[in-house]
Amino acid sequence: MVLTPAEKQKRYRENLVKRGLYEFTKVKHAARMKVYRRKLTGLIRTKYLAAHADAQRRYKGKMVSNP
């Protein structure tokens, strides 16, 4: 059976949880993103912040409608 990329990613996450590595992976990703955000400058930083603010707005809107 051939898995779609979404199914592969889902299975990968499930296996991380089973092995107890999910929290460790989240911490590593958070550290990577912190460094990435710290290095952003100029126009790229502006675009990133605008996209992030938009994503946060959409997320908060969904949370209000689906508590």
What would the pLDDT profile of 32-64 be if each residue is shown by its tens digit?
Answer: 999 999 999 999 999 999 999 999 999 999 888
Compute the distance between CA of residue 8 and CA of residue 27 in angstroms, rounded to an integer: 22
pLDDT tops 70 at residue 67: no
Reduced DSSP (H G I as helix, E B as strand, rest coil) percent helix, strand, coil of the chain, to 5:
85, 0, 15
Tell me if 48 sits within 8 A of 40, measured CB to CB. yes
What region does 20 belong to: left with phi over 0, alpha with psi -120 to 50, or beta? left
Instruction: Report whether 25 contacts 15 (CB < 8 A).
Output: no
Average pLDDT, integer, range 13-40: 95
* pLDDT class of 12 with cuts at 50, 70, 90: very high
Question: pTM, whole model, 2 decimals?
Answer: 0.63
